[in-house]
Amino acid sequence: MSKDERRINKRLDTKFEISCVHENDYLISFTRNISADGMFVDTERPPAVGSTIKLIFSIGNLKKIEINAKVMWINKGASSKDTGMGVKFLYMPARAKDAILKEINVVAVL
Q: Count CA within 13 A, CB hemisphere, residue 25.
A: 12
Q: Report the CATH number that the domain containing residue 25 is assigned in CATH.
A: 2.40.10.220
Question: What does the pLDDT read at residue 29?
Answer: 94
Q: What is the pTM of this model?
A: 0.83
Asked if the structure places residue 3 within a domain, the reply is: no
Number of domains into which the chain is organized: 1
Domain with 64, as residue range(s), is 12-109
Task: Give the burial class of 62: count Cβ atoms within 10 A of its Cβ; 0-12 exposed, 13-18 middle, 19 or more buried.
Answer: middle
Where residue 107 falls among pLDDT bands split at 50, 70, 90? low
**Amino acid letter at 109?**
V
Using one digit for the tens of pLDDT, what is the confidence trace for 11-64? 788 889 999 999 989 999 999 999 989 999 999 889 999 999 999 999 888 899
Q: What is the DSSP string of 57-77?
A: EEETTEEEEEEEEEEEEEE--
